[in-house]
């Protein structure tokens, strides 16, 4: 990716994206456009995309990372709880991709990276909501890669494993699991960090991946191949 690229970040909270933009400026010197949008509400995405296009003149890359998650057995999920996670993760990814396609990518090409998870690969306990949502996104990635490839649009997913210093790690009990050396069973013997996930995304959006579309890059140190699927331990560790 060339230097001097511009970034827009959107979430439901303008304060949170302003804080993220400030961090990015300190780390890279780049200005970042903070935007308020709820991926469940297409009108707010349309407004965010229009503002980005009016400020930047074009959009090259879309990263779909919005997600909601918590630990819960299927029996403890209300209908609305399951729907809420699918609305944010799956509908959100579709809504944002469709708006970008219609407003810019259809005529100019582009690259999309969808952030997923390995949860469905082995039917992770306490995660039917998030696992189902992310599995649907990986299917969507393939469908859209086929339909939009002729428009010079590449679409891939990136599935991280447990990543330190993140909200997901905190919510899913990663802090206590880490302290209990639970992650020693990962082939690479440790959890990942944000930079390692960013490097995976950077590869997928870069010309180095110019012939890569419709696939999922798993960046998890081999975690899903060896992770224990133990709901009791997960619930205890998340409450410790
Ligand atoms: C990271 C792993 C680390 C350690 C794990 C350790 C060991 C595990 C071993 C193996 C694990 C295997 C793989 C791990 C690898 C990767 C992890 C993978 C995925 C991570 C995915 C993520 O998405 S992390 C992102 C986390 N970030 C967020 O969640 C931020 C956004 N969240 C929110 O906005 C809210 O939390 C929300 C999702 C609830 C949505 O908010 P809102 O729209 O305001 O909705 P509400 O009105 O509050 O709620 C809607 C309904 O949902 C019900 N609900 C809410 N919370 C719970 C809960 N805790 N349990 C059950 N139900 C819940 C709520 O009651 C509402 O339903 P009603 O019927 O009452 O209306
Ligand atoms: N952390 C981990 O170990 C792992 C994370 N992942 C995935 O990585 C991504 C980042 O997760 P992580 O950094 O842990 O969690 P975060 O909670 O920090 O990131 C999720 C983001 O989604 C935004 N969001 C939630 N709901 C909406 C909505 N309706 N509209 C717009 N934005 C929304 C949140 O912002 P706001 O609340 O301000 O709207 C938040 O910034 C997610 O896709 C997650 O599933 C996958 C595997 C492991």
What three-state secondary structure class fits 29?
A: coil
Q: Are residues 210 and 92 located together in one domain of the fold?
A: yes
Mean pLDDT of 77-104: 98
Ligand 1, atom 20: closest residue by C-alpha: 168
The CB of 169 under 6 Å from ligand 1? The reply is yes
What is the spatial distance between Cα 113 and Cα 121, in angstroms, rounded to a whole number? 19
Q: Are residues 150 and 46 located together in one domain of the fold?
A: yes
pTM over 0.90? The answer is: yes
- pLDDT band (50, 70, 90) for residue 180: confident
User: Residues near 201 by Cβ (< 8 Å), separated by ≥ 6?
Assistant: 63, 113, 115, 158
Instruction: Give the pLDDT of residue 2.
Output: 44
pLDDT digits over 126-172, tens only?
Answer: 999 999 999 999 999 999 999 999 999 999 999 999 999 999 999 99
- Looking at the chain, the whole-number percentage of residues with pLDDT higher than 90 is 88
- pLDDT band (50, 70, 90) for residue 237: low
Whose CA is closest to 93, among 157, 18, 149?
157
| Residue 137 near residue 93, CB atoms below 8 Å | yes
Q: Are residues 122 and 203 located together in one domain of the fold?
A: yes
Range of the domain at 27: 1-36
Q: Are residues 20 and 106 located together in one domain of the fold?
A: no
What is the spatial distance between Cα 145 and Cα 151, in angstroms, rounded to a whole number? 10
The CB of 65 under 6 Å from ligand 2? The reply is yes
Q: Is residue 67 situated within a structural domain?
A: yes
pLDDT exceeds cutoff 70 at 23:
yes
The CB of 50 under 6 Å from ligand 1? The reply is no
What is the spatial distance between Cα 88 and Cα 105, in angstroms, rounded to a whole number? 22
Q: How many independent structural domains does the chain possess?
A: 2
Q: Are residues 92 and 18 located together in one domain of the fold?
A: no
Whose CA is closest to 102, among 110, 90, 114?
110
Q: Are residues 91 and 110 located together in one domain of the fold?
A: yes
- pLDDT band (50, 70, 90) for residue 1: very low
Ligand 1, atom 53: closest residue by C-alpha: 81
Q: Is residue 148 situated within a structural domain?
A: yes
Instruction: Give the pLDDT of residue 238.
Output: 66
Ligand 1, atom 12: closest residue by C-alpha: 119
The angle at the Cα of 5, spanning 43 to 149, to the nearest 5 degrees, equals 60
Q: Is residue 186 situated within a structural domain?
A: no
pLDDT digits over 33-53, tens only?
Answer: 999 999 999 999 999 999 999
Q: Which atom of ligand 2 is nearest to the CA of 69?
A: 45
Q: Are residues 7 and 106 located together in one domain of the fold?
A: no
pLDDT digits over 204-228, tens only?
Answer: 999 999 999 999 999 999 999 999 8
Mean pLDDT of 199-207: 98
The CB of 38 under 6 Å from ligand 2? The reply is yes
pLDDT exceeds cutoff 60 at 240:
no
Q: Are residues 30 and 100 located together in one domain of the fold?
A: no
Q: Output the average pLDDT for the chain.
A: 95
Q: Is residue 232 situated within a structural domain?
A: no
| Residue 47 near residue 39, CB atoms below 8 Å | no
Cα 116 versus chain centre, distance: 5
Instruction: Find where tokens 């010079």 sit.
Output: 152
């Amino acid at each position: 990716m060339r230097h001097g690229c511009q970034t827009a970040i959107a979430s439901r909270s303008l304060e949170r994206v302003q804080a993220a933009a400030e961090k990015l400026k300190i780390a890279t010197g780049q200005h970042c456009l903070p935007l308020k949008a709820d991926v469940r509400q297409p009108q707010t995405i349309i407004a965010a995309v229009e503002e980005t296009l009016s400020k930047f003149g074009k959009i090259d890359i879309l990263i779909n990372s919005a997600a909601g998650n918590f630990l819960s057995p299927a029996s403890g999920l209300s209908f609305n709880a399951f729907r809420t996670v699918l609305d944010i993760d799956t509908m959100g990814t579709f809504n944002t991709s469709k708006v970008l396609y219609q407003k810019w990518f259809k005529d100019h090409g582009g690259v999309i990276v969808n952030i997923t998870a390995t949860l469905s690969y082995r039917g992770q306990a306490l995660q039917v909501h998030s696992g189902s949502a992310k599995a649907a996104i990986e299917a969507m990635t393939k469908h859209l890669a086929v339909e939009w490839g002729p428009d010079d649009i590449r679409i891939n997913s990136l599935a991280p494993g447990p990543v330190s210093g993140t909200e997901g790690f905190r919510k899913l009990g990663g802090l206590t699991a880490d302290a209990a050396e639970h992650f020693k069973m990962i082939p690479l013997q440790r959890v990942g960090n944000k930079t390692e996930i960013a490097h995976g995304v950077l590869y997928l959006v870069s010309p180095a991946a110019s012939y890569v579309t419709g696939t999922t890059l798993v960046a998890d140190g081999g975690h899903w191949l060896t992770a224990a699927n133990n709901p009791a331990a997960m619930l205890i560790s998340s409450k410790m």
